[in-house]
Structure 1
Amino acid sequence: MRFLGHSTVRMELAGHVILTDPVLTPRVGPLVRVVPPLSPEAWAGTDLVLISHIHGDHLHLPSLRLLPSSAVVVVPRGAGQWLRRRGIRNVSELGVGQELVHGALRITATYAAHSGHRWGPRLTHGPHAPAVGHIVRTDDVRIYVAGDTDLFDGMTALGPVDVALLPVWGWGPSLGPGHLTPQRATEAVKRVRPRIAVPVHWGTLALPGLARTPRMRRLLTEPPLEFAAAAGPAVVVTAPGAEVPLRQGI
């Protein structure tokens, strides 16, 4: 498993290469990548892509176009037609509770407490598809990929899991609704009960001018450390671009 930055994680499971919410380029709209760029080997061999929701920093068309055309792109129900019109053909949709079998993998979409609108929670026009998380299962491993979410009723039923990929911040100086802070991610650990919790959605993207301010420099580094201090030894903090040091048996 490798944390590529923001919400993008590369997982190699049961002979497959999975990418979550791939953001692979130096820029994402007005945001810039503030950690070292990725090389093509980071996404080589991808055959399954999990998209949690259609915000531009999670469903990023330039990044999807870098991937093999044979990769299956799994999107929230309602987003498939919008994506196909933009040239991404190998698309599957999953609504909450629905399952996709991909070789030896089983992918189940879970509820996520987050805006499903392409342009954010305040606008009502344009594409919309309810946000989801995912449970990824093999015969031996169960992984919770939260996407973007706040705490929600029913989160406890998702656990226990071997690994939870949990967001702990974002890309700006503040968080809107539908996100986990380090403190709320700590509560998510109590509910989901992972053997290992990997903080994601931090330290990767920023607005160019803000990235140099003292407050933003802190927010690019401190949220996962605060999460680890609060949630305890289950948390494995991994820098963007680095391998996640998983324990034996995972």
Structure 2
Amino acid sequence: MRRVSYRDRLTAPLPTPREMIRILREGGFRGSTERADRIPVRRDGLPALAAGESSWTWVGHATYLVRLGGVTVLADPVWSAKIPGVPRRLTPPGLAWAELPPIDVVVISHNHYDHLDAPTVDRLPRQVPVLVGAGLGRWFRRRGFTEVIELDWWEPAAVAGLRFDFVPSHHWSRRGPFDACRSLWGGWVVTAPDGTRTYHAGDSGYGGWFAEIGARYPGIDVAMMPIGAYEPRWFMSPVHLDPDEAVRALSDLGARRLASMHWGTFVLTKEPVDEPLDRIRSAWSAADRDPADLWALAVGETRTLPSRRARRGGETTGAPRR
């Protein structure tokens, strides 16, 4: 039987009316668009890959194009210039829609408008496999998608030769005034046949799920982690990481490389629009981690890794592609 609610999966209470009144009295959620010119943007297109290589391209916000094991995966695709409730996007998508290669799989972390964008989804071929959290499949089937796979937390699916595991996050879901927590939110661990493993966190606050994900899925090569939309902390901390917490969560995961996201695209919260980039670099340095393992990407930038076998042989990893 289909569940009506996933409220029992919450790791923090939803905002109360008193909290909503307080934040409105403090000036609301939105910050300034000043210093948007400091957000790095590149429009170099997609580089060709050598045999066995994988790549990660930050399109903007939480949208990543990942080419892994010869399969092209699109995560949380948002190409719209405007989404409901927030100003127009600050930076263009890092890839034009016409530049996209054929998409083999789409993964969606949850149904908030900055992660699930109806105008973008409507541009996708209806036969592309779509992986979503439990309760969200109906939204896609109503739009004519023919292969929609709904997963609960910790459930796997094999699609196009890759393994996809839907994993928990410290967040929630809602798309309208009356559907809070009626579909499940989470992140994705994707594993290629050669063992290369990547993680897309979706949206999350800091908490114990990261250590459990790392224990269940060791050897994450690249973790796509949100680093923006975190102020004011009294309101946002249960559901959005700040940059220091993102580095801490990466350590909990046991992951090596952090590919940043969820900043520099939409003005969602109070922090200066360029601050997440400065803070993630500072937090990384303070943690004494290898600078080459911080992929603080420009919008549109691609990083690549050779196959896991080649990496064992000592090849250079994480090379930027221009």
- Using the size of structure 1 for normalisation, the TM-score is 0.85
How far 1:221 moved relative to its partner?
4.2
5 Å-filtered alignment, 1:32-181, equals 32-37=88-93, 38-119=95-176, 124-125=178-179, 128-140=182-194, 141-159=196-214, 160-170=219-229, 174=232, 176=236, 177-181=238-242
Tell which deviates more after alignment, 146-155 or 238-247.
Answer: 238-247
Helix, strand or coil for the counterpart of 1:32? Answer: coil
Helix, strand or coil for the counterpart of 1:155? Answer: helix
Structure 1 pair 45–113 and aligned structure 2 pair: CA distance change class (3 A) = same
Whichever residue aligns with residue 21 of structure 1, its letter is D
Structure 1 pair 91–6 and aligned structure 2 pair: CA distance change class (3 A) = same
Task: Work out the CA distance in 2 between the residues paired with 1:165 and 1:33.
Answer: 20
Confirm or deny that 1:242 pairs with 2:301. yes
Identity over aligned residues, as a percent?
29
Helix, strand or coil for the counterpart of 1:36? Answer: coil
Contact map agreement 1:113 1:151 (CA 8 A) in 2: yes
Among 266, 271, 278, the residue aligned to 1:205: 266
Q: Deviations over 1:107-140 (max 9, x none)?
A: 0011111012225xxx654672121111100122
How far 1:223 moved relative to its partner?
4.1
Structure 1 pair 80–202 and aligned structure 2 pair: CA distance change class (3 A) = same
Contact map agreement 2:191 2:198 (CA 8 A) in 1: yes
Q: Deviations over 1:126-172 (max 9, x none)?
A: 672121111100122011111111223242232331111111113x8
Task: Work out the CA distance in 2 between the residues paired with 1:169 and 1:81.
Answer: 30
- Using the size of structure 2 for normalisation, the TM-score is 0.67
Structure 1 pair 93–236 and aligned structure 2 pair: CA distance change class (3 A) = same
Instruction: Structure 1: state its 5+ residue gaps.
Output: none
Detail structure 1 runs of 4+ shifted over 6 Å in the superposition.
Answer: none
Contact map agreement 2:243 2:276 (CA 8 A) in 1: no
Q: Which has the higher contact order (CA 8 A, sep 6+)?
A: 2
Instruction: Structure 2: state its 5+ residue gaps.
Output: 1-55, 312-316, 318-322
| Corresponding position of 2:256 | 195
Task: Work out the CA distance in 2 between the residues paired with 1:125 and 1:236.
Answer: 36
Task: Work out the CA distance in 1 between the residues paired with 2:102 and 2:305.
Answer: 21
| Corresponding position of 2:73 | 18
